[in-house]
Amino acid sequence: MPNRHYVPLAHRALIAVEGEDRKTFLQGLVSNDVMKAGPDRALYGAFLTPQGKFLHEFFMAELDGSLLLETDAARRADFMKRLGMYRLRSKVTITPADQLRVFGLIGDQAAAALGLPDEAGAAKGLAGGVALVDPRLPAAGLRAWLGHGAEAALAAAGFTPAEPTAWDGLRIRLGLPDGSRDLVPDKTLLLESGFDELHGIDWQKGCYMGQELTARTKYRGLVKKRLMPVEIEGPAPQPGTPVLLGKDEAGEMRSHAGGNGLAMIRLEVLERLGKEGGELHAGAAVVKPRKPDWAAF
């Protein structure tokens, strides 16, 4: 049997943005170029404060003329409310898309099993929904947004069910954030969290909310910390636990799975570790940061 699995992602949910102005409406609000999204192309992006701080992240693809945005289920209502504040006279509707559920697909030849290339953002229709290769990094697998009969459709493609820890462990080892579990609303900057390297920002598109600070951060080299995977030796620290180098603040823990986690680490601390050695501690654990292969810092 192929080693391919599907994982229901109950902490994720979908928003449908419909109407003739759907693309132009979102284009002025989010970090990626909405005009590039379509039935065969998915995007990753973020909705920011006017000051350029993270509020919501999303995956986007098109289905039957509707733009679907996958985001945090617990914060979906807030995202919809904020989008609605900017609707004004735009001919759009913003509604929950609860007829579809979100699945993570991982394992051997997962994209090929669904007739997709192993290419970031490749997408196609599947069983009345959408399957898409992770727009950030193909190694992270796929997302599938499916309705009634989802499990049967995935089983027919050779996928078997797996626990959420299997999906979580993979994305943490790769250094990929999972919404507000790893990105702090009204605080985190996109460039601290890999959005540039992970195709979540389009630098050629026009203005969008928070664009000025995001661009200034990039071109003036103002990034002082980065989200990165850490190996955990000892009891896993809870999200928000300070990471320390001796008595000095080095960063903060985010989500974890097994012996791996994500942490926001100060870049100056990484330089000190490289020159002077030492250990980082979070609670009762030792944490060892590792630069992801895709990162450019």
CB 120, CB 133: distance < 8 Å: yes
Amino acid found at 131: A
Kindly state the average pLDDT of the residues 134-139.
98
User: In this structure, what token pair is assigned to residue 64?
Assistant: 């039957």
Q: How is the beta sheet containing 66-72 ordered, strand by strand?
A: 43-48, 54-63, 66-72, 12-18, 93-96
pTM over 0.85: yes
| Domain encompassing residue 70 | 4-179
Residue 157 within any structural domain of the chain:
yes
If you average pLDDT over every residue of the chain, what do you get? 96
Predicted confidence at residue 222, as pLDDT, reads 86
Per-residue model confidence (pLDDT) at position 274: 87
Could you tell me which residues come within 8 angstroms of residue 273 by beta carbon, excluding any fewer than 6 positions away?
245, 280, 289
Kindly tell me if the per-residue pLDDT of 2 is higher than 80.
no
Q: Does residue 25 lie in a domain region? A: yes
Domain co-membership, 158 together with 55: yes
Q: Indicate the pLDDT class of residue 1, thresholds 50, 70 and 90.
A: low
Does residue 193 fall inside a structural domain? no
pLDDT at 276: 87
Res 12: pLDDT: 98
What is the predicted pLDDT for the residue at 157? 96
254 neighbors 290 (Cβ within 8 angstroms): no
Q: How confident is the model at residue 61 (pLDDT cuts 50, 70, 90)?
A: very high
216 within a domain of the structure (yes/no): no
The reply to whether 184 falls in a domain is: no
Q: Are residues 17 and 86 in the same domain?
A: yes
CATH (domain of 54): 3.30.1360.120
Residue ending a domain, among 152, 179, 206, is 179
Last residue of a domain, one of 124, 144, 179: 179
Same structural domain for residues 248 and 120? no
Per-residue model confidence as pLDDT tens digits over 193-247: 999 999 999 999 989 999 999 999 999 988 999 999 999 999 999 999 999 999 9
pLDDT tops 70 at residue 266 = yes
Note whether 132 and 42 are within 8 A (CB): yes
Q: How many domains does the chain have?
A: 2
Determine the average pLDDT of the residues in 174-185: 97
Rounded Cα distance between 62 and 69, Å, is 9
State percent of the chain over pLDDT 90: 96
Average pLDDT on 25-49 reads 97
